[in-house]
Structure 1
Amino acid sequence: MTKAPPAWLSQAPEAARSFLEGHRLDEVECIISDLPGIARGKAVPAGKFARQKHFYLPESIFFQTIAGGWGEAAGPSGFTEPDMVLVPDYSTTSAAPWTGDWTLQVIHDAVNAKGAPIPFAPRNVLKRVVQAYRDRGLEPVVAPEMEFYLVARNLDPARAIEPMLGRSGRPAAARQAYSMSAVDEYGPVIDDIYDFAEAQGFEIDGITQEGGAGQVEINLRHGDPVKLADEVFYFKRLIREAALRHDCFATFMAKPIEQEPGSAMHIHHSVLDKATGQNIFSHPDGSETPAFRHFIGGLQAHLPEAVAIFAPYVNSYRRYVRDHAAPINLEWGRDNRTTGIRVPVSDAVSRRVENRLAGMDCNPYLGIAVSLACGLLGLDHEVEPRAMFNGDAYSGEADMPWGLFSALELFADAHGLRDLLGEDFARVYEIVKDTEYNEFLQVISPWEREHLLMNV
C-alpha cells in the first residue's frame, strides 16, 4: 500500500509534485540566501519536515564574508548569535534532481521570535522594496538575464582559469557570440541544465553563446521580482551541479578570465498600475509617459550609490572595461548596448528599461532590490534623465566608482536608497563588505610577486 504524500505538498508547485510521482520523498533541504547569495540551511528527513512548521538558524550567517570570516555586525547586543526562525514558503518548493535520492528544496523566510522579518535577510530586503511599490499602487515586473562561464576544473587558486574542453576535445573558442556550433561544444552540460530546469518547473526563455570563451547566457521570462530572484538563486545551484556532472566548473565570477568579457546579470524593468494592469511607461496611445523618463532619471541619479551591491567584490570592477561588453557610464540610449541604461526595442505594452550594471556575482535578491529602489526614487521625486545618448557610449567619460572602497563610500551616504532597503540591512552590508575588503588586502597577488619582488 502506497503511503499518502505529506499534506504540505498540496501547497507545492505542480512541478515538485510531478517530480515525486511514484516515489517516496526522502529529504527536504530548508534553505535561505545569505548576503553573497550562497544557499545556507539544513537538510532534514521528510518525516521531520512534515511535523515541524519552522526551523532555526543563527542570524550570524548574514555576518559571514565570502572568505569565511565574520563582520562585527551584531549590533549593540554583541555577538551572541541568537537564532532566527525559518518559515517555509511552500510556493518555492523545487526538486533537487542531481541528488542520489528523492529530495526537495524549500526556500524559507527569516523572522525573529516575534514574527518580524529579519531586516538583513536578502529575500526580506527585496520584499520590502516590492511592498514600497505596492504601497504606491504599483506592481514592479522584472526579467533577469544570467551570464556565466563553463571552465575547466581548477583546483589551484594560483593557476589561471581556462575555458572548458568541448566535445571536440578543443577548448571553447572565444568571440563566437550567438554561434550554435559553440553551444553544441558543451551540449551535454546544456542538456542537463534544461533537464534540471524542467524538473524544477523553470521556464527558460533562451540559451545563447556569449562573446567569451565558454560564456553562456540564459534568459528568464518576465514576472514577479521575488519569484524571479528565487529562480536565479536556484539556477546558480543547478547550473553548477550540471557542470560538475561533466568534469567542468560553472562560474558566476564577474571577470573569471583575463582578456575575456565579464559576466553580467542584466535586469529588465517595467512597472504596472495595480488598478488597471497597464504599463505606466506607456500612454494609451503608445507614447512614452513622464514615469518612463523619471524611472530612467532615478537610475542615472542613484545607480552610482548602488554599485557596491551590483559589484560586491574586488573582482567585480575588472568587468567594467571600455569597449568590452560592460558599461563604463550611466548614459541611456535606445537599443544601444554601449550604454549602462538601455531601452530595448519593444511595443508599448512591453516597454521596459534595462539596467546593464549588475554583475552575475551579485546576490539576485539584492541586485534586483536595489535596481528597483533606484527607479522608485526617480518616480517619487520625478527625476528627469539626461538627454538620450546617441552613438558609442564608450567614447564618453566614466561616471561610476571604480573600486569597492569608493563604491562603499557612496553607499554610506545614500540616505534615500538606504531608507528603501532598510538601514539595518545597509549597516550590516557595509560592515561585511569592509571586512571582505580587508581580507583581500591581506593576500599577496602573483602580480605583486612578479613585478615588485626584484624591482622595487
Structure 2
Amino acid sequence: MPAKRTMLKPSGKAAKTAHVPPNPNPGRGVKSWKEAAQWLRARGIEDIECITPDLAGVPRGKMMPSSKFTSNTSLALPSAIYRHTISGEYPEETESFRYEPRDSDLKLVPDLSTLSVVPWETDPTAQVICDIVNVNGEEVPYTPRNVLKRVVSLYKKKGWKPVVAPEIEFYLVAKNDDPDYPLHPPKGRSGRSIVGGQSYSIAGINEFDELIDDIYHFSEKQGLEIDTLIHEEGPAQLEINLRHGDPVELADQVFMFKRTIREAALKHGIYATFMAKPMQGQAGSAMHIHQSVVDIETGRNIFSNPDGSPSEEFFAFIGGMQNYVPSALVMMAPYVNSYRRLTPDMACPVNNAWGYDNRTTAFRVPVSDPAARRVENRLPSSDANPYLALAASLGCGLLGINHSVVPTSPTDDAANEGSIDLPRGLLEAVALLEDEPAFTEVFDPEFIGIYAGVKRGEFETFMEVISPWEREFLLLNV
C-alpha cells in the first residue's frame, strides 16, 4: 500500500504535504564488489546502467550485462561529453575553453554506495552513479560530482561538514511534440486540466494520485527518501522536499529523482519538466537549498554559539552568499530560460538580501531552534545541475567564512520592490563567474573555463532561433 499523505510542514500558508516514513531496508548501495555480485544475483539483475551527470546534469554512461559489470570491465567515455551544449553542439575554442587534443578517454568508476534497481524497467535492471577519473586514476576536476566533492573537502579540512536539504519544484504538462506550441497543464483524474490558485491544495495533489503513488513506489525501490510533497503555486506545479544530509548524497538523490519523476509521468502519458519557466505568466520552478554546517568531531551546528545565539560563522556565511552568489549565479541559473524566472513580481527573489523568515529575500533564515539554524538559498532554479548548484552555494558561504565577510542588516520588509541585484541574463552571469578572483579558492580554473565556454555556446545556439514575439511585433511594424 502507498504511504498515507498527511498534514506536515508548518508555514505561513496552510500546507498540504506528503510524508513517507524512512525505509529501514531500502536495498540501496553495497560496500564491496563481492557484495555487489551477491546483490545483483539476489535480484536477478540482467543489465546495469553505469551513469554519471554531464555539465547539464543529464545522465550519460553505458549499459552492460551484469556479468560484465562484476568482471573488472574497464568503462570509459570521451572527454568531449563535458564540452558540448544542452543541444549537443560543440562551441568554438577560446583562450580558456579548450578541447582535449586527442579527445582521450575518461574512466567511469562506479560508486557502489549508489547501486539500486531501475524500477520502471520491465527487465531486471540496476543503476549505479560513477565518478570520473583520467587514465592515471586522478579525479577530473571539471566533472560535476568532483566539483562538489572539492568544495566539501575544503569544509572537511576545517573539521566541518556541510548539511543540505534541497526542495525541487517541477511542472506536470500535457504531452507536446511541437516546440512551437506553448505548454499547458495536463488533465487530472477529474478529466479537466488543473488551473492556478492551487498552492498547498490537497485537491490539487489528489488530481494526480496514481502518478504520485508511482513516484513513491519508484523512490522506495531505489532507496530514495521523500520528506514532503506539496502542490505549488502554478497549475500542476509540485514540489518535493528531501531529507537533510551529506551534499554529495543529496545531489545524487536530486539527480535520480529528476529521472524518476520524468519516468513516472511518462507512464501516465504526460511530461514532467524541470524548466525554470515552462509557461508564460506562471510561477517559475526553483530548487531551494537549506544549508547548515556541523563540526565533524562534536556534531555541533557551527552557526550557533553554545548559548544558542547566532555565531560569527553564521553571519560570515550569509555575507559570503550575499557577496559571491551573484557571480556564481550561472551555476544556479544555467540557461537563457532560467532568467525568465528571475523577474520581479513572480514569487522569486531578484536580490541578494537576507532576512529572518522572509521569503522575498534571496537568503532566508527559517524559524528554528539553535541546533537547526540554517540558511535557505532561494535563488537556484530547478533546471540547475544539483551538483553544481550545491557546490556554488556552499562555496560562496565558505568564502564568506574564510574572508570574514560582514553581511548587510537583515531585511524585514519586502525585498523585491527595489532594483534587481542579480545578473539579468546568461552572458552577464558568465562574465561575472569568470571575473571573480576568489573562485579559484573553491573551483578549479579548468572547470570555470569549460563551463563558461559551454554556456556561451548555448547562448549562441539560442540566438539562432526566431521567437514568436519577434514575428508578432517586428514582422510588420519595423
**CA-CA distance at 1:78 after TM superposition:** 4.9
Q: What amino acid is the match of 1:395?
A: E
Mapped to 2, the partners of 1:318 and 1:290 lie a distance apart of 36
Mapped to 2, the partners of 1:270 and 1:425 lie a distance apart of 25
- The aligned residue for residue 55 of structure 1 is 75
Mapped to 2, the partners of 1:374 and 1:123 lie a distance apart of 17
**CA-CA distance at 1:332 after TM superposition:** 0.4
2:446 maps to which of 424, 429, 436: 424
Mapped to 2, the partners of 1:148 and 1:289 lie a distance apart of 35
- The aligned residue for residue 359 of structure 2 is 337
Superposed, which structure 2 residues align to 1:274-293 within 5 Å? 274-293=296-315
Superposed, which structure 2 residues align to 1:43-192 within 5 Å? 43-52=63-72, 54-72=74-92, 78-192=100-214
Mapped to 1, the partners of 2:377 and 2:359 lie a distance apart of 11
Q: Which runs of 5+ in 1 are unaligned?
A: none
- The aligned residue for residue 395 of structure 1 is 417
**CA-CA distance at 1:72 after TM superposition:** 4.1
Q: What amino acid is the match of 1:274?
A: I
Question: CA contact under 8 A between 1:317 and 1:402: conserved in structure 2?
Answer: yes
- The aligned residue for residue 31 of structure 1 is 51
- The aligned residue for residue 27 of structure 2 is none
Q: Does 1:8 align with 2:47?
A: no
**CA-CA distance at 1:275 after TM superposition:** 2.3
**CA-CA distance at 1:9 after TM superposition:** 6.2
Question: CA contact under 8 A between 1:84 and 1:113: conserved in structure 2?
Answer: yes
Mapped to 2, the partners of 1:145 and 1:371 lie a distance apart of 14
Superposed, which structure 2 residues align to 1:273-352 within 5 Å? 273-352=295-374
Q: Does 1:210 align with 2:232?
A: yes
CA deviation vs aligned residue, 1:11-41 (integer Å, no higher than 9, x gap): 59xxx95xx6864110000101000000000
Question: CA contact under 8 A between 2:32 and 2:112: conserved in structure 1?
Answer: no
Cα RMSD (Å) = 1.8
Q: Secondary structure at the match of 1:51?
A: coil
Question: CA contact under 8 A between 1:11 and 1:91: conserved in structure 2?
Answer: no
Q: Secondary structure at the match of 1:393?
A: coil
Superposed, which structure 2 residues align to 1:337-416 within 5 Å? 337-416=359-438
Question: CA contact under 8 A between 1:94 and 1:200: conserved in structure 2?
Answer: yes
TM-score (norm 1): 0.95
The count of corresponding residues between Structure 1 and Structure 2 is: 447
Q: What amino acid is the match of 2:58?
A: I
2:250 maps to which of 228, 234, 250: 228
**CA-CA distance at 1:395 after TM superposition:** 1.7
Q: Secondary structure at the match of 1:116?
A: coil
CA deviation vs aligned residue, 1:332-360 (integer Å, no higher than 9, x gap): 01111111100011111010000000000
**CA-CA distance at 1:325 after TM superposition:** 1.4
Sort the Cα spacing of 1:78 and 1:285 in 2 relative to 1 into closer, same or farther, 3 A. Answer: closer
Q: What amino acid is the match of 2:295?
A: D
Q: Does 1:40 align with 2:65?
A: no
Q: Secondary structure at the match of 1:318?
A: helix
Question: CA contact under 8 A between 2:251 and 2:387: conserved in structure 1?
Answer: yes
Q: Secondary structure at the match of 1:421?
A: coil
Q: What amino acid is the match of 1:442?
A: E
Question: CA contact under 8 A between 2:251 and 2:390: conserved in structure 1?
Answer: yes
**CA-CA distance at 1:309 after TM superposition:** 1.0
Mapped to 1, the partners of 2:108 and 2:316 lie a distance apart of 38
Q: Secondary structure at the match of 2:184?
A: coil
Question: CA contact under 8 A between 1:183 and 1:209: conserved in structure 2?
Answer: yes
1:258 maps to which of 280, 286, 298: 280
**CA-CA distance at 1:277 after TM superposition:** 1.3
Sort the Cα spacing of 1:48 and 1:325 in 2 relative to 1 into closer, same or farther, 3 A. Answer: same
**CA-CA distance at 1:77 after TM superposition:** 6.9
Question: CA contact under 8 A between 1:333 and 1:341: conserved in structure 2?
Answer: yes
Q: Which runs of 4+ in 1 moved over 2 A?
A: 5-9, 20-23, 71-80
Percent of aligned pairs sharing the same letter: 51
**CA-CA distance at 1:6 after TM superposition:** 13
Mapped to 2, the partners of 1:238 and 1:438 lie a distance apart of 31
- The aligned residue for residue 218 of structure 2 is 196
Mapped to 1, the partners of 2:368 and 2:273 lie a distance apart of 31
Of 93-102 and 232-241, the range deviating more from structure 2: 93-102
Mapped to 1, the partners of 2:236 and 2:386 lie a distance apart of 22
1:269 maps to which of 291, 295, 301: 291
TM-score (norm 2): 0.91
Mapped to 2, the partners of 1:410 and 1:76 lie a distance apart of 20
Q: What amino acid is the match of 1:44?
A: M
